[in-house]
């Protein structure tokens, strides 16, 4: 039986890992519940904007993420309130950007329905590895590879990897030098996800996200290393977590 069409009830803005293209997160479109619109936020120097200059400071990155989000909302005819609800999702470096973007948006009075983060310990905690961003390219690549911090597709294509290394290094520098200065918790629910074999996270650091929100928090620990987003277990719990914030009318339509 064909499911009835469901109008868009949530836009999910996605931010990528260090050096990654947000466009690849568009594949989540096939995972999310009906009525969730997936919009990747592509940063300068990454993916489809590879020829643009990289941003070197977190404040600049957040400003650009907010600009892209607001541009999309204007194109869709919605403001920052409940008329067109939205959530943020970021993986690894993208989780840090999503967190800071959520804070910037809340300061401006926008409503963020949910912050979803994966592959990054609490921003209030330092990364669980020694700084890498100053290492020469061969050692930089070797260390990231050893920790599972580079997708296999890049490792198998050295020429392409060299093209992406500047953006990986720039993002990692921001991640490794980031200092958490916020004193008040974020009034947005947080859902966190981590791979049990991920050398770039650990359970205590993932649980510590709970200290950064005054709203609901939940953590899913899943099989896999740093890049687990294509794993069936992640896709299932990710979709379920989004479905929990669906309006009752949407749940009734899809259940029916």
Helix residue ranges, H only, the chain: 58-76, 93-107, 137-146, 152-155, 158-177, 203-207, 232-243, 248-255
**Among the listed residues 184, 191, 216, the one whose alpha carbon sits nearest the alpha carbon of residue 206:** 191
- Burial of residue 82 (CB within 10 Å: 0-12, 13-18, 19+) is exposed
| Active site (annotated) includes residue 182 | no
For 226, which DSSP code?
Answer: S
**Among the listed residues 126, 136, 116, 121, the one whose alpha carbon sits nearest the alpha carbon of residue 237:** 116
Helix residue ranges, H only, 20-157: 58-76, 93-107, 137-146, 152-155
**Among the listed residues 46, 34, 105, 35, the one whose alpha carbon sits nearest the alpha carbon of residue 73:** 105
SS3 content of the chain, % helix, strand, coil (to 5): 45, 15, 45
Side-chain half-sphere exposure of 244, counting CA atoms within 13 A = 15
* Catalytic choice (21, 92, 118, 167): 92
- N residues, the chain: 256
| Active site (annotated) includes residue 210 | no
CA distance 199 to 103: 27
Q: Are 45 and 55 in contact (CB under 8 A)?
A: yes
Indicate which residues carry an active-site annotation: 92, 226
């Amino acid at each position: 039986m064909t499911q009835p069409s469901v109008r868009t009830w949530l836009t999910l803005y996605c931010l990528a890992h260090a050096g990654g293209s947000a466009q690849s997160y568009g594949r989540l479109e096939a995972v999310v519940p009906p009525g969730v619109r997936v919009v990747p936020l592509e940063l300068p120097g990454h993916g489809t904007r590879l020829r643009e200059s990289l941003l070197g400071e977190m404040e600049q990155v957040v400003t650009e993420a907010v600009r892209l989000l607001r541009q999309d909302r204007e194109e869709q005819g919605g403001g920052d309130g409940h008329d067109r609800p939205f959530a943020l999702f970021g993986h690894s470096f993208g989780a840090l950007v999503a967190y800071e973007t959520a804070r910037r948006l809340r300061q401006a009075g926008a409503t963020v329905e949910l912050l979803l983060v994966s592959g990054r310990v609490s921003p209030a905690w330092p990364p669980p590895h020694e700084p890498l961003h100053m290492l020469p390219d061969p050692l930089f690549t070797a260390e990231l590879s050893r920790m599972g911090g580079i997708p296999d597709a890049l490792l198998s294509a050295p020429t392409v990897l060299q093209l992406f290394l500047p953006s990986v290094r720039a993002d990692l520098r921001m991640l490794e030098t980031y200092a958490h200065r916020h004193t008040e918790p974020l009034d947005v629910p947080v859902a966190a996800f981590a791979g049990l074999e991920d050398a770039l996270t650990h359970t205590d650091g993932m649980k510590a996200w709970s200290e950064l929100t005054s709203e609901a928090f939940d953590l899913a620990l899943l099989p896999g290393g740093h890049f687990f987003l294509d794993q069936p277990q992640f896709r299932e719990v990710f979709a379920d977590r989004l479905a929990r914030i669906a309006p009752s009318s949407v749940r009734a339509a899809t259940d029916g």
